[in-house]
Structure 1
Amino acid sequence: MRKFLTLFFLALLASCELFMSKEDKTKQLVNEELLAIDWNDVDQYPLFEACDETVSKEIQRECFQTEILKIASKALDSLRFEVQQDLEDTIFIDLVVDEHGFISIVDIEEKQNVLNEIGDFNTQISNTLKDLTVAPALKRGIPVSLRFRIPIVLNTQ
């Protein structure tokens, strides 16, 4: 009889989940699901019209980066700078694509040699890229913000 009671209590303790309320079970499942999500990755990258949403994430990322670099290059081509000394440098621009698809510049790496030659470089770049929009990145079907860093190569030679 003692063995039976001991087994009964062990079985009862092992099956505590039987006594959990539905709300507690739901909370536990949600917490487990949230812990399983990789919050550093998205399911779909931001997309321009030229990008295909049915391709793999890597190709989407490459398409987004190619398109944003084309736009940045075109914007730079439209600007006219006068420099005293030749410039050959790379500047990194940090962009955020918010959950609505608006692109904004978070930071432009400041290089003293560029600022010495083109004092308002950061302002002009910000103004040319400020009105861009794309389809936002998606995580589990929900639009999310995403941060990117793109290189801008300056060569005045």
Structure 2
Amino acid sequence: MKLTAGFYWILLGLSLTSCEWFASPETKTRQLVEEELSAIDWNEVDQYPLFDACEETASKPEQQTCFEQNLVMHLSMSLQDFEFQSDQRLADTLYVDFMVDHQGKISVVSMDKNPEFSKENPEFERIVSRSLRSLPRLEPALKRGIPVSARFRIPLVLNTDE
């Protein structure tokens, strides 16, 4: 009778243990992949898009700074050749949303508009878009070593004198 009671205790213990012992390798793999995917922050890139002047082995903050400085420098140089006009004193900030795709190509997604400024300078959006498209070659952003599309926003400060 003791042998039978011990056998029932073993059966009870086995029935209370995890079912993972009996899970298929595919199920275990799927669970691991789902856990890994849920741990990834999909709103951040591991490496910013890089211009040739930027160092690939630099830290992420240094890469971000290099990307932003090169972008602003190029945009400033492109826009300084154009004279924008306004009949009124204007101090405003417009935001340009742009995308660097997984191949490093850049495109304007959207741009804030100031109605007065846009009316007096209808070519402004086209000039900004052309300037961004004429950027030097870019390496795309990376996430887990894979090229990905990334969206960015830059402010354009408008200051005019009457």
TM-score, structure 2 normalization: 0.86
Distance 1:57 1:86 in 2: 40
- Write the deviation string for residues 127-156 of structure 1: whole angstroms up to 9, x where unpaired: 222243411111110011111110111223
Amino acid in the other structure paired with 2:64: R
Consecutive aligned runs of 4 or more in structure 1 exceeding 6 Å deviation: none
Q: Does 1:150 align with 2:154?
A: yes
User: What secondary structure sits across from 1:85 in the alignment?
Assistant: coil
RMSD: 1.9
SS at match of 1:78: coil
Q: 2:104 aligns with which of 85, 88, 101?
A: 101
CA distance in 2, matches of 1:72, 1:138: 23
1:23 aligns with 2:29: no
Q: Which amino acid aligns with 2:155?
A: P
Looking at structure 2, the residues matched to 2 and 77 of structure 1 have their Cα atoms a distance apart, in angstroms, of: 90
Which of the numbers 119, 123, 132 marks the counterpart of 1:120? 123
Q: Write the letter of the residue equivalent to 2:122.
A: G
Query: Aligned runs of 1:1-157 on 2, under 5 Å?
Result: 1-2=4-5, 4-132=7-135, 133-157=137-161
Q: Percent of aligned pairs with the same residue?
A: 48
Deviation string, structure 1 residues 76-131 (Cα, Å, up to 9, x no partner): 11223343334332111011111111111101101112113212211221122224
Higher Rg: 2
Query: How many residues are aligned here?
Result: 157
Shift of 1:71: 1.2
Segments of structure 2 that go 5 or more residues without pairing to the other structure are none
Q: Is the 8 A contact 1:90 1:154 kept in 2?
A: yes
* Equivalent residue letter for 1:29: L
**One-letter amino acid of the structure 1 residue matched with residue 160 of structure 2:** T
Q: Secondary structure at the match of 2:64?
A: helix
* CA positional deviation for 1:17: 1.2
CA shift at 1:4, angstroms?
A: 4.8
